[in-house]
């Protein structure tokens, strides 16, 4: 999938390759050589843009919402000093999304139901009698998702063919808030190259239209409507092909 879900692990993989290349090819004897210079410049450029991902919580959340990753990816690949910030970004984005979409906290399912909810005895709280008033704390939808077993697929083909959006559609009833976040995030392309290509493909049509305009003393409003809908159609087709 060409969404932002692949940005972090893509950067991690490429930076690891470049770091290994720096250790192997950049030595005191050849640090100014052509190959060493190219490797060093590549690493600095990738590292520069990798640091920019810290400005948005979306990258971490998108990676977390892959049931094959969750937080396990960060626990294995990242240094421990980055883990608290990773958890903070995940939790804050979940809470913010839940509040902004008006999803009540009652959607979170508690570990156990209080017998008082059944209405057996209204004037006697059996849970307070049993537990001394200490109720089992509720787990958020995010906590339940992270505690659920990690999805493990065997082989390259199975992982390449896995459709994470289809997984979230199937599990939408279990994780209503997270599924909305996943659908929103996975619609974001990992880079702007595809978007730029779509508009670049529209340039010849636009120039042809402008040339026709110059040959006319005026242009009808329907012409502008046509070009507006042409632009919209190109954008929609490009977006649909990226899903």
Write the pLDDT tens digit of every residue in 40-55. 898 898 889 888 888 8
For 17, what's the count of Cα atoms within 13 Å in the CB-facing half-sphere? 7
Predicted confidence (pLDDT) per residue in 203-221, tens digit:
555 555 555 545 444 444 4
Per the structure block, which two tokens stand in for 187?
A: 């619609």
Per the structure block, which two tokens stand in for 165?
A: 């959006």
| 39 neighbors 21 (Cβ within 8 angstroms) | yes
C-alpha distances (whole Å) from 103 to each of 108, 118, 148, 172, 180 are 10, 24, 22, 14, 11
Listed residue (189, 169, 191, 201) closest to 239, CA to CA: 189
Per the structure block, which two tokens stand in for 199?
A: 């508009």
Cα torsion 54, 57, 62, 63: sign: positive
Q: Residue 181: its pLDDT value, please?
A: 93
Confidence of residue 10 (pLDDT cuts 50, 70, 90): confident
| 35 neighbors 25 (Cβ within 8 angstroms) | yes
CA distance 113 to 120: 13
Listed residue (234, 235, 213) closest to 224, CA to CA: 213
What mean pLDDT value characterizes the chain?
75
How open is the CA angle 143-90-85, to the nearest 5 degrees? 115
Listed residue (84, 49, 90, 239) closest to 177, CA to CA: 90
Predicted confidence (pLDDT) per residue in 81-121, tens digit:
999 999 999 999 999 988 877 544 444 444 444 444 445 44
Q: Residue 235: its pLDDT value, please?
A: 57
Q: Residue 5: its pLDDT value, please?
A: 80
Query: Among 26-40, 72-86, 101-115, 188-202, which is the least confidently predicted range?
Result: 101-115
């Amino acid at each position: 999938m060409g969404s932002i879900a692949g940005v972090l692990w893509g950067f991690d993989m490429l930076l690891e390759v470049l770091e290994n290349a720096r250790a192997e090819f950049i030595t005191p004897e050849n640090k100014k050589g052509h190959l060493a210079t190219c490797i060093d410049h590549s690493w600095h450029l990738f590292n520069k843009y990798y640091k920019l991902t810290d400005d948005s919580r979306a990258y971490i959340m998108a990676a977390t919402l892959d049931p094959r990753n969750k937080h396990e990816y960060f626990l294995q690949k990242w240094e421990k000093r980055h883990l608290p910030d990773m958890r903070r970004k995940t939790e804050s984005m979940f809470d913010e999304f839940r509040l902004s979409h008006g999803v009540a906290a009652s959607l979170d399912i508690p570990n156990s139901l209080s017998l008082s909810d059944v209405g057996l005895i209204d004037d006697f709280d059996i849970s307070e009698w049993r537990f001394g008033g200490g109720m089992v704390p509720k787990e958020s939808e995010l906590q339940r998702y992270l505690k659920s077993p990690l999805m493990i697929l065997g082989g390259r083909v199975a992982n390449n063919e896995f459709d994470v959006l289809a997984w979230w559609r199937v599990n939408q009833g279990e994780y209503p808030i997270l599924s909305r976040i996943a659908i929103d995030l996975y619609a974001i392309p990992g880079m702007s190259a595809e978007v730029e290509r779509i508009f670049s493909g529209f340039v010849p049509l636009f120039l042809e239209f402008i040339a026709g305009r110059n040959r006319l003393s005026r242009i009808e409003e329907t012409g502008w409507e046509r070009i507006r809908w042409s632009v919209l159609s190109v954008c929609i087709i490009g977006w649909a092909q990226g899903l």
